Amino acid sequence: MSGLQGESWIWIFEGDEKVAIDTFSSMDFHQIKSSKHGTLVQRVIEILLLRYKVNVYQTPKLEAHEES
């Protein structure tokens, strides 16, 4: 059996852009990731900043299914 109880994820799509918010790389924090440098990821971050502390890093750690 693989996987951990408590993992969470959400995918947000708009056109050909996809933003992932997940705990796959760290069970302590959610990560916001996008393989494109589009506007959707910036809008998601701006909305989350209204309620949460968000640290923005230039190079996200992408999962295997996100690299394509």
Q: Is residue 3 over pLDDT 80?
A: no
pTM greater than 0.75: no
Looking at residue 57, what DSSP letter applies? -
Task: Evaluate whether 31 touches 60 at the Cβ level (below 8 Å).
Answer: yes
Q: 41: buried, middle or exposed (CB in 10 Å: 19+, 13-18, 0-12)?
A: buried
Percent of the chain with pLDDT over 70: 72
C-alpha dihedral over 26, 32, 34, 37, to 10 degrees?
A: -130
Instruction: Tell me the per-residue pLDDT of 12-61, one tens digit each, with 9 for 90 and over.
Output: 999 999 999 988 666 778 888 887 778 999 999 999 999 999 888 777 66
